[in-house]
Structure 1
Amino acid sequence: IDKCNGEGEGESMATGPLLKKVATRKKTKKSSK
């Protein structure tokens, strides 16, 4: 949500939780942030 703060607010909200779930499950370099 920090990166996309205005470019697709709706998508951010829907992708936010999804990305968090995937990051917690895969724990890839995306978790570096």
Structure 2
Amino acid sequence: GDDRTVDTHIKMLRHNLGPYRDFITTVRGMGYKFEA
């Protein structure tokens, strides 16, 4: 369903960022954040 839309986009972002994919971190119970 649509409840996984954000997760799907994050997965694609991580793939496209290549070696920088670890900058996107999961915050349990909150969502995601970008750490540079």
Q: Which has the higher contact order (CA 8 A, sep 6+)?
A: 1
Q: TM-score, normalised by structure 1?
A: 0.41
Name the one with the larger helix percent: 1
Q: TM-score, normalised by structure 2?
A: 0.39
Name the one with the larger strand percent: 2
